[in-house]
Amino acid sequence: MTHGPIADLLPHTGDMILLDSVLEAETDRIVCGLVVRPDGPFNDTDGSLPAWCGVELMAQAVAAWSGWTGKQEHRAVRLGFLLGTRHYRCNVDAFAPGSELAVEAFRSFHDDNGMAMFACRIDAEGIHAEARLTVFSPPDSDAFLASLASSQPHV
């Protein structure tokens, strides 16, 4: 099954898209793939991707799931926010250049206001990371951002 270019599923552009493709997608789950490139925007001088970037990889997998779900429902890609993570664990300090990572996100909770929780993992040969992400994707992101702007005190 083809899912089209990953850029069509994400609100990100250019170098900020860290994932390469969607490998599997279904109602509550997505698996995305990437090969760690040595010249990415977050890579260390040795070309490795620090393990702390795993949280962003997981968040982008969640965003890809949201974009894939939106396409199934004939909706546009929506803006989302990573609110936090719990228990991020990774058995390596960095993902080596050339590593082929599978990034999975499984939706475990979702409400009508856009709050959701995902159990996520990253796997490759000799690599395992996992975390729970809490995310928020407002039904109308323009109205949400406008409400934030109008509630800020003016100096």
- Backbone φ/ψ region at 98: left (φ over 0), alpha (ψ -120 to 50), beta: left
pLDDT at 23: 97
Tell whether the torsion through CA atoms of 61, 62, 63 and 69 is positive or negative.
positive
The residue to which tokens 């040969």 are assigned: 125
Is 70 exceeded by the pLDDT of residue 35? yes
How many CA atoms does the CB half-sphere of 80 hold within 13 Å?
31
> How high is the mean pLDDT of the chain?
92
Is 70 exceeded by the pLDDT of residue 77? yes
List residues bridging with 85 in a β-sheet.
Answer: 133
Q: Measured between alpha carbons, how far is 98 from 101 in angstroms, rounded to an integer?
A: 9
pLDDT at 47: 97
